[in-house]
Amino acid sequence: MNYNTETISAIAEQVSSLLKMTLEQQQAQNESGSMNIAAVEMEMRKLLREVGAQALSQFLSSGSGTPVAELACECGGTLRYQRKRAAVITSVFGKVRYARAYYAGCKCGVGKAPVDEAYGLEPGAMSSGLAALMGLAGIEFGFEQSCEWLERFLLFEVSENSVRSETQTLGLLQAQRETIICQHSQDAVQLQARSREPTPGVTRLYGSLDAAKVRIEPRPRAGQKVEAQEDWRDMKVGCWYEAEPVPAAQRSTRQHDKYAREQAVFRAKHMHYYCDICDAERFGSLLWGTGYAHHAEGVPELVFVCDGAAWIWNLVACYYPHAIQIVDWYHAKDRLQRVAQAAFSAPDERHAWLEQTTTDLWEGRVESVCAACQHIAARCHEAQQAVTYFSHNAARMRYDQFRAADYLIGSGTVESACKQIVTQRLKRPGAQWSLEGAVRTAKARAAWLSGEWDLLCAQRAALPLAV
């Protein structure tokens, strides 16, 4: 919104005068005290919060204008004006009391306050604006720490349970959005209609999958004992993204070194994250549904870069059989380092073997890598396992061809997603999660990282009157 400059100046002058008077009174009561800018800012914030609460109260109280005698009820009957009825909500300015026109008297027994409906208010509850801030704090900090942060920011107390509830409500809404997307992606009519539509301008789309462990603690119902111990569950995480070259001026030292070796440095952009704690079959539906939302089935080039986990490649083969499959270069290289460490005690011999096999792998000579591992497999169990690993993934390790085509060969995007969604939020010290709480919090955080927070908050704003 654009506001009249003269009006804003007039209001600012009044606020400044009121603040000056308040500060002078405080200094008079404490002659030895000095006032720095931090103290002035804090008093200004307190003042503006009180002004905001009063202004919002007046705005809502006058929102319905002059009451009419009757209104149509949704049931088809008639509602009659009763009186101005008081209500309280908790907003970003704290408690706000207002009086609005209230209608009742229909045979269905349901009353109505037009102002509440117009602005999505539920008396006794919090505003959607405050709910969005609580959710934002809840996906960033532990719920207890969120309360402390919000109190410093809002200048009034909120409860830990409120932060938890709003964060997980947003996560539930994200789960519902994903369910709808998955349903559309399975609808034959929708798929046929999509096939006739022009595809977006994306020519190359990447997908990556991974998983990270989350500690889930059993929660007993009232009167029940918990016999099961805590369980570490896989939070499966997926990401859709595109890639772009990194301009020379923006390259880090590591990227400059990478460019010197490979003559190309790329970075991910337009990332969209999704996650769940579920079996691979159910996650496959989410993989397909979110891919449908990104037109993955129709892009000219679809590339998956992942580690060597069997469940990942089974899903990719099932849902996107024509996609280009690439095993993350760094996982493959790390496997060779583990073999060398286990097989050779002499540093020179270890270094020579590792340098040769790494070069072969980089140049796409996977058969040579398999042969080198096979040669020492009789005396090294790690090498035996590596033979299976490299031979099974040989087609996914043609790194010379992938680099020539300017494909990303590292799955750092989804590994970063696991760190941001799981490690940084769900594995905070002292964190205790139920299955439902972990999933909903992770989904809310994934929506924020995907740039979908405003869509989620818009859905939350429409909730109160429907609850």
Q: Tell me: the pLDDT tens digits for 86-114? A: 999 999 999 999 999 999 999 999 999 99
What count of other Cβ atoms lies within 10 Å of the Cβ of residue 433? 21
Structure tokens at 195: 């096939």
Mean pLDDT within 438-445: 98
Which positions ≥6 away from 367 have C-beta within 8 Å?
394
**Is the residue at 358 inside a domain?**
yes
Q: Contact at 8 Å (CB) between 246 and 266?
A: yes
Does position 188 have pLDDT exceeding 90, yes or no? Answer: no
Which positions ≥6 away from 99 have C-beta within 8 Å?
61, 84, 85, 86, 87
pLDDT digits (tens, 9 = 90+) for 133-173: 999 999 999 999 999 999 999 999 999 999 999 999 999 99
**Is the residue at 214 inside a domain?**
no
Mean pLDDT within 449-459: 94
Percent of all residues in the chain with a pLDDT value above 90, rounded to a whole number: 75
Total domains in the fold of the chain: 1
Give me the chain's average pLDDT, please.
91
Question: Beta strand 301-306 with 204-216: parallel, antiparallel or unpaired?
Answer: parallel
Task: Answer whether 0.85 is exceeded by the pTM.
Answer: yes
Q: Which domain holds residue 358?
A: 331-397
**Is the residue at 340 inside a domain?**
yes
CA nearest 173: which of 132, 202, 133?
Answer: 132
**Is the residue at 393 inside a domain?**
yes
**Is the residue at 412 inside a domain?**
no
**Is the residue at 23 inside a domain?**
no
Tell me the C-alpha distance between 367 and 373, whole Å. Answer: 10
What pLDDT sits at residue 4? Answer: 85
What pLDDT sits at residue 36? Answer: 85
Which one-letter amino acid corresponds to residue 332? A
CA-to-CA separations, 351 to 192, 293, 336, 338, 373, in angstroms, rounded: 56, 47, 11, 12, 14
Tell me the C-alpha distance between 144 and 154, whole Å. Answer: 16
HSE-up (13 A, CA, CB side) for residue 90:
15
Query: Per-residue DSSP letters for 147-161?
Result: HHHHHHHHSS---HH
- Strands (E) across 246-354 are located at 266-276, 301-306, 324-327
Beta-bridged to residue 209, according to DSSP, are 238
**Is the residue at 271 inside a domain?**
no
**Is the residue at 367 inside a domain?**
yes
* φ, ψ dihedrals at 214, nearest 5°: -130, 135
Mean pLDDT within 400-404: 94
